[in-house]
Chain A
Amino acid sequence: MTPQPNALELEDLVMHFGPVRAVDGITLTIPKGRVTALVGESGSGKSTVGRCVVRLEKPTAGVVRIAGTDVTQLTRRQLRQHRNDVSIVFQDPAGSLDPRMLVGEIVAEPLRLSGKRITRRDREARVAEELGRVGLRAEVARRYPHELSGGQRQRVSIARALISEPKLLIADEPTSALDVSVQASVLNLLADLQRDIGFACLFITHDLSAVEYLADDIAVMYLGQLVEQGPRERIFTRPAHPYTQALLAAAPVADPVRQRQRQPVLLGDDLPSALDPPSGCRFRTRCPLAFDRCAAEVPAQVAFGGGLAACHLVQPDGTRPDVRAAADSSEVLS
């Protein structure tokens, strides 16, 4: 085994629920200490990827490797010793904290389940330390979740996720249920903790402005597959795949002067069904640039310097299509 294994490696991950092809062949690597955002619309399968990584779902096929260990086929008992390597934070903190447990018990639970012997005093000290790290007072340990605000509850779930000192944190829409001002404090907290502790993070979200704030790398998912991946700056300045371009063009920016100069790319409303995805390129039914080959042939992942994209129009030399030019030739993609 290499001395510095990647925090996460997914190889051709497949998760089918009966006939529903939720995740259909995802290959993705998160190096140690990096934040990768997994973005896509609802129904694209991004949460299912997260659930496969923490083994809330057993993948249909493919490999999930956490810190160098293949966890795909491990039994529940075997998984236990790897549970400390990866944690998850969910969107709705009210639904993911047991209402009958004290905050202190909730945060300490991963320590209890790890099987390591630890004195009560040490455990309480660890809980207090962890609560302090997420900006909560130690007294909060004696409260119940319903006594806390939404933002405080999300801090509790972050404390619970980090107490086992995981190498990888899965954050599944951690700020989507929160108001703007609270969202800001949770995003700041995640950024601070990630910098200080250095865990790797799979940040699953549909909120592109949060992605730009937090992520190092971005992977874009459409209907169970990755259409593009690459470093944050390149994706935001020079998106290669038509879907990424449309997604970035559709997200409004909170600046009326800039927003009104932009030209949205209007896609059709319908995300095709994951029961029977389109042949060839799955995005072709909504793509303004689709041509014959897109229906006949599945596009391969093309490496072009700035990352990977799965589109027939992307070339290894960096040539890429422009959906906005297709909509209006006067507009230059910025």
Chain B
Amino acid sequence: MTTVERAAASSAAVGTPVLDVRDLSVSFTTEGGTVSAVDRVNLDLASGEIVGMVGESGCGKSVTAMSIAGLLPDSARVSGSVRLEGTELVGARESVLRRVRGKEIAYIFQEPMTSLNPVLTVGRQIGEVLQVHERMSKRAARARAVELLSLVGIPSAAKRVDNYPHQLSGGMRQRVMIAMAVACGPKVLVADEPTTALDVTVQAGILQVLRDLRDRLGTTILVITHDLGVIADIADRVVVMYAGRVVEQAPVTDLFAHPYHRYTAGLLAASPTPGKHAGTERLQEIPGLVPVLSIQPDACTFADRCPAADARCREAAPPLEAVGTAVTDHLAACWHPCPAPRTQPQETTA
């Protein structure tokens, strides 16, 4: 067992709640007026869980993730509550947030090159985290950096530790980012489009590293992506966002087998899947665009693009409620949920 694993073994058992987001709303003041980006989002992350968050651009995925550890700019107005094992982070003092960031909650972003400092070796950059948060000596931090680099699957880590970011490939850089993120054994790792800039052969390796971290260190991971293949590969549970709201959440197999919300069903039908060819089948289109909202209306924001929408959808926002009969952990916010699993498409009776 490495020191990294020993440190993690002492953390909480799998399944206990780690992060609890309640009624989180975020809006921005721009030149064009107020823009509501996130609207009353509730989200629980249990220890050792990998949660995937999907939605198209402009649905509020990244803003939700950034607001967790107070990474949003001053122009953002955040309300609601984000609790990390009981500690409130919304409105917390900067000194509290500084202790949490990097140590308790760590981030990985899409483009590793812009997140790494080009004039410092990767060893220095990983070591810095440990010197600040763990008050390690320079020498100990370097030794731990080598250990971390091999943990994320970088071959000949003892040599790579002295490399500068430009000497590494895109996949290697993303592994360095992950090593830096998990250096202090964070409870929650937020990965915002971690593989979007990478090729598929490299992506497979990065997803494997994330899975390993969960299995070996028990890290809770929130993966944000627009790629349903990545979700199908790595997530235990899926949260679907649309126009700032959570519209559906479910265990991954349930969600793909039977999406209840019309937006989720639309997303799944729009993606090309194995065996589908233009000669025999068409991809299902979702007409229209994700709306940019200045105020969140008391209505379903998907109604204008939805094949099943009626007057009720435009008069009241559907609550996020349990759907289906057997499963209780499948929630959807829809007045007219899809009646049948998607393998047997049916006309709506709603």
Contacts and interface: CB of A to CB of B under 8 A. Distances in A.
Nearest to A208: B200
A212 B276 contact: yes
Given A41-B199, A188-B282, A246-B201, A213 B289 contact: no
Given A181-B267, A269-B205, A254 B232 contact: yes
Interface in B131-159: 155
B199 A179 contact: no
Interface in B233-267: 233, 235, 252-253, 256-257, 266-267
Interface string A118-158: 00000000000000000000000000000001000000000
A260 B233 contact: yes
Contacts of A210: 272
B204 interface: yes
Interface in A162-198: 179-181, 183-185, 187-188, 191, 195
B229 A41 contact: no
Nearest to B155: A268
Contacts of B207: 252
Given A212-B275, A212-B276, A232-B277, A259 B283 contact: no
B277 A213 contact: yes
Contact of B56 (A179, A185, A246): A179
Contacts of B57: 179
Give the interface size bracket for A toward B. 35 or more
Contacts of A269: 169-172, 175, 202, 205
B27 to A, nearest CB: 22
Contact of B270 (A149, A184, A252): A184
B229 A180 contact: no
Given A180-B56, A180-B228, A184-B284, A253 B253 contact: no
Interface string A33-57: 0000000011000000000000000
A264 interface: yes
A300 interface: no
A257 interface: yes
A179 B226 contact: yes
A209 B201 contact: no
Interface-centre pick from B56, B200, B203, B207 (highest chain A CB count, 10 A): B200
Contacts of A209: 229, 271-274, 276
Contact of A247 (B171, B201, B235): B201
B272 A187 contact: yes
Interface string A254-267: 11110110001111
B278 interface: yes
A207 to B, nearest CB: 8
Nearest to A232: B277
A149 B208 contact: no
A282 B282 CA distance: 38
A187 B271 CA distance: 10
Given A213-B272, A213-B278, A180 B200 contact: no
A179 B285 CA distance: 11
B252 A252 contact: no
B35 interface: no
A185 B285 contact: yes
A256 B253 contact: yes
Nearest to A43: B199
Given A180-B228, A181-B56, A266-B204, A253 B267 contact: no
Contacts of B205: 266-267, 269
Contacts of A266: 204-205, 208
Interface string B1-36: 000000000000000000000000000000000000
A271 B268 CA distance: 32
Interface string B337-350: 00000000000000
B256 A256 contact: yes
B230 interface: yes
Contacts of A254: 228-229, 231-232, 256, 268, 271, 273
B306 interface: no
A276 interface: no
B276 A181 contact: no
A269 B170 CA distance: 8
A212 B280 CA distance: 12
B309 interface: no
A250 B171 CA distance: 14
B274 A212 contact: yes
Interface string A190-222: 010001000000000010111011100000000
Nearest to B174: A269
A236 B274 CA distance: 9
B253 A257 contact: yes
Given A184-B283, A213-B276, A213-B283, A251 B172 contact: no
A292 interface: no
B244 to A, nearest CB: 16
Interface string B209-230: 0000000000000000011111
9 contacts: A179-B226, A187-B272, A188-B282, A212-B272, A247-B201, A250-B203, A252-B232, A253-B229, A256-B256
Interface of A: 41-42, 149, 179-181, 183-185, 187-188, 191, 195, 206, 208-210, 212-214, 232, 236, 246-247, 249-257, 259-260, 264-271
Q: Which 3 residue pairs spanning A and B have beta carbons closest together? A: A252-B229, A191-B278, A269-B171
